[in-house]
């Protein structure tokens, strides 16, 4: 989408003239509501066509405008959590002309990105990290003697993550750190937990702090008795406030607290931010916003419009996520020990039906993956069968808990690893390319990568029926089945070498070139075989652990051949690297090439297939045929 065409079509004269926060400050107060509407028009038009996070950004239009009118980016540091609510910030900080490239290869990121703009102080692709980073910025400014402010915009869903509370515990009153709580009662799914339920009870106004400041200044000028009077008045105020209103969580931690206020009224937000700025110390500004504000479909169903696919993409009714949810629900129908746990991703992981059918055995712990895993280990140790459904990239956050609380104790916990592999639209922060490597390094863990829905059901059913269960990870990609892969598994010529290992040739007719792979990248191997005149065979794995046994099973099929490993995962510690080393130790007759994601983060800098960017596509495979 050409931004100039959009500008002409949408008629956005005010936004057209804003290329920096300085331009925004020149806009008159009367024009601000019209500017906010123009921003919404661009968001709705651009995101509904090209995909992205819509509801969350519609809700923070006024908030973002007010922040940039009150503070001075990049001298003042502005950090968004989660970063998918930063689109308005991007429009106001010189990236308006590139907005049509949002979340595309070579385009601007859907999250703050330090290498993209000096106005993106910190990358926040994952939730609940911002306050720890913001505290670091504020402490650094204090050490420098700088008067800069750090503004952390926290979606209230971020408070379901433990890191926020750990950072709050370390904040110092004297820091120029301002926490803007954007309360819309949603992260992706509905927020859960005690903090979310009690947040709405807090209240204080900027007028209160203005009056308080004036009183303090008056008494400070009275010799001898001024400060004791201030201390006495503060003590009396605290007692009366506790009596009538109860305690304020943030004030007890030393913050000045403002709010809650209407976060979709730009003038009110400005007043609150200016009052907080004037305090020159740690403050909390609590705003209530409407997720999806100004676009009726998104207001009615904010979860549906949280993340949109591009308008021309094919919607898949049946995905691995939805199939997993169906299978787990049916298993739970028959076994009352089965529980489901997710981390603020009920819809994304396909567990809506499970919650509806078995609400007492469904747990959404919020954005707290570490807690989810250890909580599951407790359920398991006390006789239940928990399944933890989390995206691959977020499961990284619970690595220690998997090792210490589950694997070390050999507790039967099922990890359902969603969105495994490369996820181009969300970019490097959301690529699920590390899970196989880190699970392979952990003793006592069984790892599976089902190729089809049928296989997913078989692996899940097999886990729950196994009398000698051990910690198990089942990983699967975003979206649905691939027809090429399904045909491969159902082909009469496909030979089962071992449980979860298949070849499209037998040991009597071994081809010269053998591609070894698993998961979605199998489709690239199938294409490569179809488009070459060389002698090629494929071995596809669904079972990725017990590598010594797997090696013994495939050795008769590969002795002396040209082997190409192809893997949609990081090279170091990968399945390919581990299996290739075992093959070499036993045989040393083969020519072995490993095509995996190089030890770096995959940044898609061009409009092309993500497999091409990572050099694990069919062409890259074919280059190694002999």
Q: What is the pLDDT of residues 173-199, one digit of tens each?
A: 999 999 999 998 654 445 555 665 666
Residue tagged active-site, from 323, 369, 370, 524: 369
263, pLDDT greater than 50: yes
Region 320-475: CATH code? 3.40.50.970
Per-residue pLDDT at 610: 87
How far is 599 from 567, CA to CA, in rounded Å? 13
Per-residue pLDDT at 440: 97
Q: Is 486 helix (H, G, I), strand (E, B) or coil?
A: helix
363, pLDDT greater than 60: yes
Phi, psi (rounded to 5 degrees) for 401: -65, -35
Query: What residues contact 214, with CB distance under 8 A and at least 6 apart?
Result: none
| Tokens describing residue 462 | 């097999």
**Lookup result for tokens 């699970």:** 439
Per-residue pLDDT at 389: 98
pLDDT average, residue stretch 455-470: 96
DSSP 404: I
Region 3-204+248-300: CATH code? 3.40.50.970
Whether 291 is catalytic: yes
Residue tagged active-site, from 90, 291, 293, 561: 291
Higher pLDDT, 314 or 255: 255
Per-residue pLDDT at 3: 40
Nearest 5 degrees, angle CA 377-CA 378-CA 383?
95
Whether 588 is catalytic: no
Residue tagged active-site, from 69, 103, 113, 397: 397
Strands (DSSP E) contained in 82-159 are 150-155
| Tokens describing residue 439 | 């699970």
Per-residue pLDDT at 28: 96
Helices (H), 176-254: 194-198, 206-220, 226-244, 249-252
Question: What are the domain boundaries of the chain?
Answer: 3-204+248-300, 320-475, 497-622
Confidence at 585, pLDDT banded by 50, 70, 90: confident
260 preceded by a cis bond (ω within 30 of 0): yes
Percent pLDDT > 90 in the chain is 69
Q: What is the pLDDT of residues 190-230, one digit of tens each?
A: 555 566 566 655 555 565 555 555 555 665 667 767 667 65
Strands (DSSP E) contained in 385-535 are 385-391, 414-418, 446-448, 472-475, 495-498, 501-503, 513-518
Whether 369 is catalytic: yes
- As a residue count, the chain comes to 626
How far is 541 from 212, CA to CA, in rounded Å? 68
pLDDT average, residue stretch 292-298: 89
Per-residue pLDDT at 8: 44
Compute the half-sphere exposure of residue 239: CA atoms within 13 Å on the CB side of its CA: 6
What is the pTM (predicted TM-score) of this model? 0.84
Of 399, 406, 404, 376, the closest CA to residue 389 belongs to 376
pLDDT average, residue stretch 39-46: 92
Identical fold between 3-204+248-300 and 320-475:
yes
Q: What is the pLDDT of residues 104-146, one digit of tens each?
A: 888 899 899 999 999 999 999 888 999 999 999 999 999 999 9
User: What's the gap between Cα 219 and its chain centre?
Assistant: 50
How far is 402 from 370, CA to CA, in rounded Å? 8
240, pLDDT greater than 60: no
Per-residue pLDDT at 140: 97
Q: What is the pLDDT of residues 53-95, one digit of tens each?
A: 999 999 999 999 999 999 999 999 999 998 899 999 999 999 9
Q: Is 515 helix (H, G, I), strand (E, B) or coil?
A: strand
Q: Distance of CA 122 to CAs 76, 244, 403, Å?
A: 12, 40, 29
Identify the architecture of domain 497-622 in CATH.
3-Layer(aba) Sandwich (3.40)
How far is 497 from 541, CA to CA, in rounded Å? 10
Q: Distance of CA 331 to CAs 337, 373, 456, 465, 475, Å?
A: 10, 21, 13, 10, 18
Pairing of the two strands 495-498 and 501-503:
antiparallel
Per-residue pLDDT at 5: 45
Higher pLDDT, 249 or 504: 504
Per-residue pLDDT at 105: 84
Q: Distance of CA 8 to CAs 3, 13, 16, 46, Å?
A: 9, 9, 10, 13
Average pLDDT of the residues of the chain: 89
Per-residue pLDDT at 252: 84
Higher pLDDT, 32 or 428: 32
């Amino acid at each position: 989408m050409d931004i100039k065409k959009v500008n002409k079509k949408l008629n956005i004269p005010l936004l057209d003239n804003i290329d920096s926060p300085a331009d925004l400050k020149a806009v008159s107060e009367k024009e601000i509501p019209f500017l906010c509407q123009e921003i919404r028009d661009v968001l709705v038009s651009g995101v509904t066509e090209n995909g992205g996070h819509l509801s969350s950004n519609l809700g923070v239009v006024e908030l973002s405008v007010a922040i940039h009118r009150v503070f001075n980016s990049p001298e003042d540091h502005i950090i968004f959590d989660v970063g998918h609510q930063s689109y308005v910030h991007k429009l106001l900080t010189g990236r308006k002309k590139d907005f049509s490239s949002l979340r595309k290869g070579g385009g601007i990121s859907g999250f703050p990105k330090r290498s993209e703009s000096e106005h993106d102080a910190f990358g926040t692709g994952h939730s609940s990290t911002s306050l720890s980073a913001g505290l670091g910025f504020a402490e650094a400014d204090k050490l420098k003697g700088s008067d800069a402010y750090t503004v952390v915009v926290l979606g209230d869903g971020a408070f379901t993550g433990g890191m926020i509370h750990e950072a709050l515990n370390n904040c110092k009153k004297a820091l120029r750190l301002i926490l803007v709580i954007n309360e819309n009662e949603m992260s992706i799914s509905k927020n859960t937990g005690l903090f979310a339920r009690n947040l709405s009870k807090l209240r204080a106004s900027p007028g209160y702090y203005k009056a308080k400041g004036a009183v303090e200044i008056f008494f400070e000028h009275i010799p001898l008795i001024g400060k004791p009077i201030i201390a006495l008045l503060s003590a009396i105020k605290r007692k009366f406030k506790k009596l009538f209103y109860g305690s304020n969580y943030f004030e007890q931690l030393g913050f000045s607290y403002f709010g809650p206020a209407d976060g979709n009224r730009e003038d009110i937000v400005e007043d609150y931010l200016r009052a907080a700025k004037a305090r020159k110390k740690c403050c909390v500004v609590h705003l209530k916003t409407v997720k999806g504000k100004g676009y009726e479909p998104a207001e009615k169903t904010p979860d549906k419009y949280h993340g949109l696919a591009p308008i021309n993409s094919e919607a898949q009714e049946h995905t691995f996520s939805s199939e997993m949810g169906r299978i787990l629900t049916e298993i739970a129908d028959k076994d009352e020990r089965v529980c489901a746990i997710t981390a603020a991703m009920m819809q994304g992981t396909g567990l809506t039906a499970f919650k509806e059918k078995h609400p007492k055995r469904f747990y959404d712990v919020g954005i707290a993956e570490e807690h989810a895993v250890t909580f599951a280990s407790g359920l398991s140790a006390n006789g239940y069968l928990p399944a933890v459904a989390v995206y691959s990239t977020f499961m990284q956050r619970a690595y220690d808990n998997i090792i210490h609380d589950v694997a070390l104790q050999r507790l039967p916990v099922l990890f359902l690893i969603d969105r495994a592999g490369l996820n181009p639209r969300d970019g490097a922060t959301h690529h699920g390319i590390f899970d196989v490597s880190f699970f392979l390094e952990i003793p006592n863990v069984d790892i599976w990568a089902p190729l089809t829905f049928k296989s997913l059901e078989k692996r899940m059913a097999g886990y729950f029926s196994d009398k000698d269960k051990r910690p198990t990870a089942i990983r699967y990609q975003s979206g649905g089945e691939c027809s090429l892969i399904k045909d491969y598994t159902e082909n009469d010529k496909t030979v089962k070498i071992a449980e979860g290992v298949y070849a499209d040739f037998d040991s009597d007719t071994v081809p010269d070139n053998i591609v070894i792979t698993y998961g979605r990248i199998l489709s690239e191997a199938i294409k490569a075989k179809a488009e070459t005149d060389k002698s090629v065979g494929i071995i596809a794995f669904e079972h990725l652990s017990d590598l010594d046994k797997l090696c013994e099973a495939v050795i008769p099929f590969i002795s002396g051949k040209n082997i190409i490993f192809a893997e949609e995962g990081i090279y170091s510690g990968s399945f390919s690297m581990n299996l290739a080393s075992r093959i070499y130790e036993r045989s040393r007759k083969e020519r072995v090439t490993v095509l995996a994601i190089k030890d770096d983060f995959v940044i898609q800098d061009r409009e092309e297939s993500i497999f091409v960017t990572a050099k694990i596509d069919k062409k890259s495979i074919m280059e190694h045929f002999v």
